[in-house]
Structure 1
Amino acid sequence: MGMAKRKLELPLLVEKDEDGLYVVECPVLSGCYTQGKTLDEALKNIQEVITLCAEEEENRKVLRDYHPQSFSFHTITSMVNV
Structure 2
Amino acid sequence: MKYSVVIEKTDNGYSAYAPDLPGCIAAGDSQVEVEELIREAIIMHLESLREHGDPVPEPQTSVALVEV
What runs of 5+ residues in structure 1 fail to find an aligned partner? 1-7, 75-82
Between the aligned residues of both structures, percent identity stands at 26
SS of match in other structure, 1:22 = strand
Mapped to 1, the partners of 2:4 and 2:62 lie a distance apart of 9
- Aligned equivalent of 2:38: 46
Give the TM-score normalised by the residue count of structure 1. 0.62
Give structure 2 stretches of 5+ with no counterpart.
none
Higher strand share: 2
Q: Residue 10 of structure 2 is aligned with which of 17, 21, 27? A: 17
Between the two proteins, the alignment pairs up a number of residues equal to: 61
Larger Rg: 1
SS of the residue corresponding to residue 51 of structure 1 reads: helix
Runs of 4+ in 1 over 6 A off after TM superposition: none
Q: RMSD value over aligned CA atoms?
A: 2.2
Measured after TM superposition, the shift of residue 73 of structure 1 is 5.5
Structure number with greater CO (CA < 8 Å, separation at least 6) is 2
User: Cα deviation per residue 1:24-64 (whole Å; 9 max; x = unaligned)?
Assistant: 10111121000111101000011110111112338x5143x
Within 1, Cα distance between the matches of 2:31 and 2:20?
20
